[in-house]
Amino acid sequence: MSAIHQIFPAADARALSATDLENLYAYPDDRMRVCVNFVSSADGAVEVEGSSAGLSTPPDRAVLDLGTDLADVVLVAGGTATAEGFTGVEHNDRMDDRRRRFGLSELPSTAVVTSTGNSLDPSAPVLTDTVIPTIVLTSEAAPQDLRKQWADAGADVVVTGEQGVDLAVALAELERRGLRRVNCMGGPSLFGSLAEAGLVDELRLTLAPFLVSGEAGRIAHGAGMDPARLELLSVVTGDDTLLMRYRVRATPTT
C-alpha cells in the first residue's frame, strides 16, 4: 500500500505512521457514538455488481479495518450482511494488538438490523460463523418462528419495535450491553434511517478513484430530511483515494 498522507487540517499535513492513523480514527471517549463507513466512486456509486468490494482500495481497507478493530460493535443491515457475505468478527494479530493497546474487549460484537427478517436467513454466516453471538435487532413484524430460528442459530434476538426497528431503542439496547463505540457498515437504507433520526455522530466517507455510471444507489436512502450540516474533521489520501471524516452537527433547538 502506498503511503497515506494527511492533507487536512493543513497544519497537520504529513505522511501518517500506523500509530498516527490509529489515533486519527480512534473513538475519542467511551460515550455512545455512531460512526458510519461508506465507500463511493467519484461519480457517486456505492457498489459494483451488487457489492462495495469493487470500489475498495488499500487505504480504504486500512480505514475499514480500523473502524472494526477499535469498535465495541459492528452494526450492519441484514441485506448488506447477506450481500457482502458478512461473518462475525474473528481474531487476527493486528486486531488483537490494537484492542489490547486501546484497552478494549477481546473482540467487537456484531449487530444486524432487520425489521421483518426477509433479508436475514437463519443459515447466514453472520449468524452461524461467529465467535461472539450476533445480536439481531428486529421488530414484532418478524415472524416468531423466524425469530426462534435465529435464536437457535445462536443469535441474541432483541425486539425493538412493532412494525419496524426503533433505532433509538436499538442503540439504547447496545449501550445497555456496554457497546458504545458503534461502527456502522451500512447499507444505505440503514444509514438514511439513522441520519433521519439524528443518530449519526460521524460519517467516514471514502471517495474511490473510479467511474462506474450505471444505476448504482447512493450512500443514504430514505424518506428524506432537512439537510444536516457536516463539519470536516480530517482528510487523508493515498493510492488516488480520498478518505474524509465528517462530524454531524447537532440540529439546533428552538
> Residue 101: is its pLDDT beyond 90?
yes
For the chain, the average pLDDT equals: 93
CA dist 209 and 243 (Å) reads 11
Which tens digits make up the pLDDT trace of 131-167?
Answer: 999 999 999 999 999 999 999 999 999 999 999 999 9
Could you tell me if residue 178 is left (phi over 0), alpha (psi between -120 and 50 degrees) or otherwise beta? left
Closest Cα partner for 78 from 157, 148, 11? 157
From residue 108, how far is each of 4, 29, 131, 135, 239 by CA, in Å? 26, 16, 10, 11, 29
Tell me the three cell numbers of residue 119. 433479508
Buried-state track 4-22, b at ≥16 Cβ within 10 A, e below 16: bebebeeeeeeebeeeebb
Domains, the chain, in order of start with CATH, read 55-243 (3.40.430.10)
Query: What's the predicted TM-score (pTM) here?
Result: 0.93
Say what the pLDDT of residue 49 is: 83
Q: What beta strand segments (E) does the chain contain? A: 5-8, 14-15, 33-41, 73-77, 109-113, 135-138, 156-159, 181-184, 202-208, 230-238, 241-248
Say what the pLDDT of residue 224 is: 81
